[in-house]
Structure formats: structure tokens, C-alpha cells
Amino acid sequence: MGSIRPDVILLRMKRALTLLLGIFLICCSSPAQTVDAEKLKGAWWKDGEPSFTWLIQDRTILMEFDMKEHPYRLEGNVLIIDFEDATLGVQRKRILRLTDDELEFTDEQYEGTEVLRKMKDPVK
């Protein structure tokens, strides 16, 4: 039985390290984030609009444009809205920032970023 040459061992080690580095970078670049579902609930609107854009409830979002409730779910920091319509389909909104007052997200289909502001309860 012959021994393995040092240059072959070095090549195999280099490939293994490259693979491990790639796996590490992929894991670090897509951290798992979670969104506070309670903070997400409420009426949100775009600046300058006369009415709300979204009214987010426990399991549905009432959309101002069609005044229909659409089911949604959260997967990490992605809001997935099912319009239950062949034309509109399912939309994915990646939440970039959620505070008590603002919701910033990117539409994964159209790649546009939007900021919605939360309507304040006038009673408080």
C-alpha cells in the first residue's frame, strides 16, 4: 500500500475548508429573524393617503384597495399574503424594520421598498 502524497492531502484539505467557509457564509448572511406579531397588528397607511393601506388582524389583512380580508402568515421576517385570486396570487413582503410606529418592507416580487406608518388610537 502506498501513502498519499502531501500535495493530494493539501488539495483535499483546501476543498474541505472552501466548502465549510461557503456553508458558514450562507448561514451568516441569512439570519433567522422573527417579527413580533402583536406589534404588527393594527392599521397601517402610506404617507399622503387618505385612508389605511392595511388593517392587520390576527389571521387576516384587510386591504384598502379591494376592501377584502386576505389570510396571511409569518415565516421568520417574511409576511406572506394569500389573495386567494389567480391574478394576484400570493405576495411575499420581507420585513426590514418594525417599530411601534413604522413598518418597512421589501416586496420580493417587485423589489420595491415601502414604509407604512401606524395609525394612532385617538382614545389613548
pTM of the model: 0.68
**How far apart (Å, rounded) are the C-alpha atoms in residues 49 and 57?**
20
For the segment 46-69, the average pLDDT, to the nearest whole number, is 92
For the segment 70-78, the average pLDDT, to the nearest whole number, is 96
Torsion sign, CA atoms 46, 52, 53, 59: positive
Residue showing cell 424594520: 97
Q: Tally the residues of the chain.
A: 124
Strands (E), 1-124: 42-45, 54-56, 60-63, 68-75, 78-82, 90-98, 102-107, 113-118
How far from chain centre, in Å, is Cα 14? Answer: 35
* Consecutive H or E run containing 65: none
pLDDT in tens, 15-45: 877 876 666 666 554 555 689 999 999 999 9
